[in-house]
Structure 1
Amino acid sequence: MFTALVVLALGWSIYWAIGSGAGQKGLETWFEAREAEGWVAEYSEMSVEGFPNRFDAKFEDLALADPDTGLAWEAPHFEILALSYQPNHLIAVWPDSQRIATPLAKYDVTSDDMRASLRVAPQSDLALNELTLTAKTLTVAELGQTETARLDSLTLAAEKAPSGDLPRYRLGVQADGFTPSDAWQKHLDPNGRLPEKLDQMRIDMTVEFDKPWNISAIEEARPQPRMIDLKSAEAQWGQLALAMAGKVTVDDQGQPEGDITIKARNWRDILQLAREAEALPPSLADTAESALSLLAQMSGNPTTLDIPLTLRGGRVWLGPAPLGPAPVLRLR
């Protein structure tokens, strides 16, 4: 019995040593490959620890920047944790502070306990099967600015769904206690009639992409949406409530086509906010109120408004009337 335990312990030690060494070498090779492609891919120190039951990769002073998209990320430390007997279940742990850069601006992000649980396919492309990301007390501030936007808590979940020719994922987002920056608060609600925080925001949708979410989404290009089935998107701010649902297809240029319905509760208050924020000229606001009043009366509920919108030809339509350009749905 003792001999068997010794052999088992020795075998497991060899397995862990080989696995940790291979993991570290694979990470080093990945960083070298990104640098060869012109990326910034740097760290001051990397180690794989956790014997005997874990493979824990730890980075210090991590910096990644993709020259093709202009996206960059810096973190003082970052961890990718895995059980040695289940290496395709990963836990990513972010630091309390990090910096994200886009072609438009740089942002300092702080949070409490930001982490993600990922289950990936055991193949080398690490195709995503499940993801859950959570964070508490999340704040975002543009570099050099003192004003911040804040979330009390954030949960993002993704799960690979049954699909046909193109990969499909079900996505869910819940954000509680969103506090806009002071500048946005004053712009959206100049008279201070609303609470400081939005009570909640929720999104439930299924998205079909042109390729799977795997390691190539970082190395090469992000998968692009080809179909969005928005089951619900809801936001609650005091007595004001907005909800959206609908389904659109998306072409190669990111132009959506399909139908979306917006439900607005206490819509007159929303229109009044638009007036006060000067988002609508007074004459257009009066015209909009008359038209929306008619729509509300037709629905049978004067305080709740259902607005059916059509996205077609690069524009948003309300019946035969064009309202403006449709959003371009492309991931950088």
Structure 2
Amino acid sequence: MTVTPPIRRHSRTGLYVPLLIALTLLAAWTGWWFYLTHRIETGIEARAVAMRAAGWDIGHGRITTTGWPFRTRIAVAYPTVTAPDGHAISAPTLVAEANTYNPDRWVVIAPDGLVLTRPDMGKVALRGEALRMSVSHLQARFPDLRIQLDKPVFTPHPGAAPFPILRAEQLQINARPHGADGARADATTGPVDVLFRLTEARARPGGVLDGLAVQGPVGGWIETTLEGGDRLRGPAMIGDLEAWSRAGGRFTAVRGELKAGVSTATLSSDTLSADSSGRLQGTVALTADKPLPALAGLARSGVSGVDRAAAAGAATATALTGDTSAVSLPLVFRDGRTWLGPFALASAPKLF
């Protein structure tokens, strides 16, 4: 008689354990995602309350959060931020996104464009192929900030004053704590390095830049260090150049290169600051290549703020040197005016 051995049933515990571990991890990650998004939404509201208390006007519509499980994506409908001095920015929607596992770096985009409001000058619509801003190292005294506008187009609203440029290939603004080669050792100190770059811009017809460029392209870059630039971070100080200037803020180590049509110029200055009325003051060492076309174009411009006689005099003086290819002249901002050598060309740039 043959005895059949009993059938051994294998335990399925080994199949369930990995599944239970995966479900536990998923539940924990989902909990973290909801906790993070709630904290971010709460932080947005808290920052808005703080800025309103400091005199800012903050408004927005619905805030929605998506992106689970690996992204945190926050969309804010109809945000409007108005500074105490009347400057404002608004948009149909702003979208901010970050990795859920690293919420210290955010990318903000304006998919439907922006509207910039200038006090007493009206609104300007800004659209482009890409309007983005990235912010990282949020725990530092001043974060790393990068703004990039690809193919921006500036269109004044009906009744608004013209904008200096119509469009550009690219516009960049970078700001980060001062430090050699971007090192973050200085992240807790005051100075902030700033870079502004404009590529292949077209100036509005009849404007100052159009006159300088003789209807050619405008571009260039300027880098500087803002002493005490970290004061511009807080809710009451963001973009408040007047308070920054009164607290001793100034521009140091200014370097740059400008291009207007066929004319180019390199510039440098040890220190620039703002006077009590917000006008730039200081001296810039300017070395211009082929400056005569730019000065002659400025003299022919129809802008009321430009002293065309002074510009014509500067052009004549340049021609009389006998070397119109390269000229070194001091560009001086004083008494609210911009001086090229002995010639007062126009009002000094107004910072606030």
TM-score, normalised relative to structure 2: 0.75
Pick the aligned partner of 2:217 from 197, 213, 238: 197
Give the equivalent residue in structure 2 for 1:133. 147
Residue 288 (str. 1) matches residue 314 (str. 2): yes
Measure the CA separation in 2 of the matches of 1:127 and 1:164. 6
TM-superposed deviation, 1:73: 2.1
Pick the aligned partner of 1:93 from 109, 116, 127: 109
TM-superposed deviation, 1:41: 2.6
Q: Tell me how large the CA RMSD over aligned residues is.
A: 3.5
Q: Is the 8 A contact 2:318 2:324 kept in 1?
A: no
Give the equivalent residue in structure 1 for 2:5. none
Higher share of residues assigned strand: 1
TM-superposed deviation, 1:93: 0.8
TM-superposed deviation, 1:36: 6.1
After superposition, where does 1:1-332 map in structure 2 within 5 Å?
2=18, 3-34=20-51, 39-66=56-83, 68-104=84-120, 105-122=122-139, 127-144=141-158, 149-162=166-179, 167-184=190-207, 188=211, 194-198=214-218, 200-209=219-228, 211-216=230-235, 221-222=240-241, 224-225=244-245, 226-250=249-273, 253=276, 254=278, 258-277=282-301, 279-280=306-307, 284=310, 287-289=313-315, 291-292=317-318, 296=321, 301-311=323-333, 323=344, 327=348, 330-331=351-352
Measure the CA separation in 1 of the matches of 2:298 and 2:238. 42
Measure the CA separation in 2 of the matches of 1:183 and 1:328. 18
Q: Residues 74 and 262 of structure 1: is their aligned pair in 2 closer, same or farther, counting only changes over 3 Å? A: same
Q: Residues 168 and 17 of structure 1: is their aligned pair in 2 closer, same or farther, counting only changes over 3 Å? A: same
| Structure exhibiting the larger radius of gyration computed from Cα positions | 2
Measure the CA separation in 2 of the matches of 1:164 and 1:50. 31
TM-score, normalised relative to structure 1: 0.79
Q: Is the 8 A contact 1:232 1:244 kept in 2?
A: yes
Q: Residues 238 and 72 of structure 1: is their aligned pair in 2 closer, same or farther, counting only changes over 3 Å? A: closer
TM-superposed deviation, 1:139: 1.2
Map Cα deviations across residues 7-26 of structure 1 (whole Å, 9 max, x no partner): 32222221111111122222
Give the letter for the 1:327 counterpart. A
Q: Residues 108 and 164 of structure 1: is their aligned pair in 2 closer, same or farther, counting only changes over 3 Å? A: closer
**Residue segments in structure 1 that go unaligned for 5+ positions in a row:** none
Give the letter for the 2:85 counterpart. T
Measure the CA separation in 2 of the matches of 1:116 and 1:264. 33
Measure the CA separation in 2 of the matches of 1:87 and 1:186. 41
Give the letter for the 1:265 counterpart. D
